[in-house]
Amino acid sequence: MQIASFLVLPFSQNAARGAEPTLYAATAPDTKPGAYYGPGGKLGLTGPVRETPMAAFAYDDAAAKQLFDQLEETAGVRYPL
């Protein structure tokens, strides 16, 4: 387990740092509507908050519908849209 931790450590951050993009997006006065904020460091996994591009699949309406349908089924609820 120690070897795995050593290998992952450069690509991870603690919980407080991990929460920063969400808190920034929710509270900073200079955020843009519809923008995505995340870590600005290596591979977008660590570092200070910055506006970052969203992955292409985030714009996939068919995938979003499929995910929503699966979540409804798992939760046992239906939301009319």
Question: What's the pLDDT tens digit per position in 2-43?
Answer: 777 777 777 788 889 999 999 999 999 999 998 999 999 888
pLDDT at residue 12, rounded to an integer: 82
Residue 37: CB atoms within 10 Å: 19
What token pair was written down for 57?
Answer: 């699949």
Residue 37 pairs in a beta bridge with 51
Beta carbons of 11 and 43 less than 8 angstroms apart: yes
